Structure 1
Amino acid sequence: MASSSKDAVVLQVDGHEVRVSSPEKPYFPERGIRKIDVVEYFIAVGEGILSALRDRPTTLERWPGGVFEGARISTRVDNSGDAFYQKRVPKNAPDWVPTAHITFPSGRTADEIAPDSVAVVAWCANLGTLTFHPWPVGKEDVESPNQIRIDLDPQPGTDFSDAVRVAPHVRELLHEFGMEGWPKTSGGRGVHVYVPILPRWTFTDVRRAVIAFGRELERRLPDQVTMSWWKEERGEKIFIDYNQMARDRTIASAYSIRPRPHAPVSAPVDWDELPDVQPTDFDVLTMPARFAAVGDKHAGLADHAFRIEPLLELFEKQETDEGLGDLPYPPDYPKMPGEPMRVQPSRARRPAGADD
């Protein structure tokens, strides 16, 4: 049910009223997609995106003016963009929007939205949220990740097809460790693989597990995979972005919309269909029909929780036998225990006194 006026539409979602202001505002003008279409898209795939977000602290990527030529997102260095990341719950949030209390790497804290209904997702969409960035934790224990997220990130000279070629090897290696993964398109050029785990370890532990996994994959596929944090050393390979498992680093959720002119979405897929799809197959206009036909391809995630001890043992073995320890954290992090020197290799090789 919905009521409307010239300036707003009120939708009934999960027993709550969700007011959509300026429903006719163009959000993806090249596709004729309006703000109300975006909200209705999230409702159409509601069961799926709620499964991805439920009770997880979630950063909102807000594009209140829509996606138009030249639009850009604000950064820490330049906050003058047309879009922005919202990590704290908006002050005007209704009392039925739940939150989770989290701690950033800096030690500062915040209350983030932790969706528990499709109504919350729709309310966030009215704020211009296109992409939802959930933490890999549940609100009941925000210090212990319950998911591993393996990000197959194509580097310059590679593309989606290269990530797809690496993906079966990811699955094979997961099986060797008694684990299973659920793949999805990133909505861009990459592939994401989600692995549910028991929430018994810290962010540091889980990040090290991913480092060990990535190093083993790199050992097996040295011409296709890299674990090098520094871009100058990666080459034309698929980067396993291990720092996506660092605290406060997130990946766009399944069914999130990516801010590109054709309105692509991050789409859960079966392993068998991954080689035959393209990121452009899934967008705001096509995904509702697919979801109605096949349901949520990530539904099985909630039924499993794997152990990561074998990966932690592999990390220790790599450290002992090969002298491989931790890897650099993102530049905005405080210096972490055991972390190597955080400096670009070409700069570290400069002779003393060399000009910058």
Structure 2
Amino acid sequence: PKGKEITFIKPDLVAQVNFTEWTSDLVLRHPTFQGLRKDKKASQVVIEDLGISVEEDEIEESSPKKKSRGKGESQAALKSEMKSEMTADDSDETESRSTKKSKRVSKAKSSARSSSPVKKRGKGRHPGLSHPDKLLYPTAGFTKDRVATYYDNVAKHMMPHLENRPIAMVRCPEGEGSECFFQKKLGFHKGVALKTAKVQGQKNKQEELVYTNSAAGLIELVQMGVLEIHVWGAEVDNLMHPNLIVFDLDPEESVDFSVVKKTAVSIRDLLEDMNLKSFVSTTGGKGLHIRVPIVPEHDYDQIKAFSLAVVRHLEKQHPDLYTTQISKSKRNGRIFLDYLRNGYGATAIVPYSLRNKPDATASVPLSWKELTSLKSAGAFTLEDVERRLAGRGKDPWLGYFKLRQRLRLK
């Protein structure tokens, strides 16, 4: 012991203490003494699943006719823009991302919610799932067990998008509406299906990554109170070469959703000009994601420069509708065309993941035809997704995993 005047004795009394979280060195943060517990013995006290928060980031969130385009919107024009972006000064982006890292994610909702009656919809039990009747979505009435059942039902469709990819988690141990945090490491949680890998990353830094290759890993995430699952654009065994490009359309509140849909189609058409097939999904929040699977042969700087060139092309055409600036002040009445999902260590919500929203909405893959009638990016709840998959015929992303698309950057 460092303190010379400290005397350590065998624990005898049990105290009730409220606190915000455990630190990485097993110290309580913001503890407040509530009283002694005469109903418990010291020998009964154990450290429950800690799930230390070790890294934080910002968490978010009629058929449009295909326009005929002149040669001015050609692939050559985009290549020229991309080359200029690869040499541009990114100091403003670096500053904004470092600011994001220090931001704590908190989804504080109205306390009135807790006073309204809720129907617990838990069914069955999952081995290893503690407190299965705990409400993870109080407004919707979904218990921990019900959420686990959802992931059982979607695992076949979800796992191909999740396997072998580093995971980032939005953990809300007390459920939606409580304090949440963004986490990229397991902390003190010791998973069986959740794996860790130590991989050489950017600037020769060793990265400790979390991933899973089995549906059981989804249940372990539920046990940890994970409400959102985000993934890297690369796989664990080829970390420095992404095989996925994500365009995140993040509209300001006043933007009509029809404009978001038309924007998605515009990006699709630009990509088609470059012989790249893209796929659209809801985010479960406000916007849409456009995904482009590619052969993993370029680094993050090249991929990010390419994605920036695509969205800058739109921004220059319609500066009143779009911005590529991350600053909230630049988004007034505009859609933020987020290309930053393609940077090293950046993540995007994985298809079929639930979101930290009152109605338990999810990110759902769509066909481009379905996009026509979509009312909002949060149109699908947990139960909607289950019904959709149960009665579904053709896969909306048919051929996604068979594509071997190459970027022509030279």
TM score, norm. by length of structure 2? 0.65
Residue segments in structure 2 that go unaligned for 5+ positions in a row: 1-122
Q: 1:27 and 1:116, CA in 2 relative to 1: closer, same or farther beyond 3 A?
A: same
Q: 1:238 and 1:94, CA in 2 relative to 1: closer, same or farther beyond 3 A?
A: closer
289-298 or 176-185: which moved more?
Answer: 289-298
1:88 lines up with 2:185 in the alignment: yes
1:56 lines up with 2:165 in the alignment: yes
Q: Is the 8 A contact 1:57 1:113 kept in 2?
A: yes
Deviations 1:85-125 (A, max 9, x none): 22113444244433333567787543222111111111111
Give, in whole Å, the separation in 2 of the partners of 1:67 and 1:106.
37
Give, in whole Å, the separation in 1 of the partners of 2:204 and 2:180.
26
Secondary structure of residue in 2 paired with 1:140: helix
Instruction: Give the equivalent residue in structure 2 for 1:37.
Output: 146
Q: Which amino acid aligns with 2:401?
A: A
Q: Which amino acid aligns with 1:302?
A: F
Instruction: Give the equivalent residue in structure 2 for 1:149.
Output: 246
Give, in whole Å, the separation in 1 of the partners of 2:405 and 2:316.
24
Give, in whole Å, the separation in 1 of the partners of 2:282 and 2:176.
20
Give, in whole Å, the separation in 2 of the partners of 1:167 and 1:191.
7
Give, in whole Å, the separation in 2 of the partners of 1:268 and 1:96.
25
Give, in whole Å, the separation in 1 of the partners of 2:398 and 2:195.
23
Give, in whole Å, the separation in 2 of the partners of 1:255 and 1:245.
20
Which of 259, 264, 267 is 2:364 aligned to? Answer: 267
Instruction: Give the equivalent residue in structure 1 for 2:402.
Output: 303
1:131 lines up with 2:240 in the alignment: no
Secondary structure of residue in 2 paired with 1:21: coil
Give, in whole Å, the separation in 2 of the partners of 1:104 and 1:28.
36
Alignment of 1:240-279 (within 5 A): 240-277=337-374, 278-279=376-377
Q: Provide the alpha-carbon RMSD of the alignment.
A: 2.2
Instruction: Give the equivalent residue in structure 2 for 1:290.
Output: 388
Secondary structure of residue in 2 paired with 1:273: helix
Alignment of 1:103-252 (within 5 A): 109-252=206-349
Shift of 1:9: 7.2
Residue segments in structure 1 that go unaligned for 5+ positions in a row: 1-7, 12-17, 72-81, 314-356
Secondary structure of residue in 1 paired with 2:175: coil
221-230 or 47-56: which moved more?
Answer: 221-230
Give, in whole Å, the separation in 2 of the partners of 1:64 and 1:299.
36
248-257 or 95-104: which moved more?
Answer: 95-104
Shift of 1:141: 0.4
TM score, norm. by length of structure 1? 0.74
Q: 1:106 and 1:200, CA in 2 relative to 1: closer, same or farther beyond 3 A?
A: closer
Q: Which amino acid aligns with 1:44?
A: N
Shift of 1:237: 1.7
Q: Is the 8 A contact 2:284 2:379 kept in 1?
A: no
Secondary structure of residue in 2 paired with 1:254: coil
Identity in percent:
28
1:21 lines up with 2:130 in the alignment: yes
Shift of 1:209: 0.5
Aligned residues: 286
Q: Which amino acid aligns with 1:274?
A: L
Shift of 1:83: 1.9
Give, in whole Å, the separation in 2 of the partners of 1:9 and 1:151.
37
Q: Which amino acid aligns with 2:248?
A: D
Q: 1:232 and 1:149, CA in 2 relative to 1: closer, same or farther beyond 3 A?
A: same
Larger Rg: 2
Give, in whole Å, the separation in 2 of the partners of 1:269 and 1:188.
15
Secondary structure of residue in 1 paired with 2:186: coil
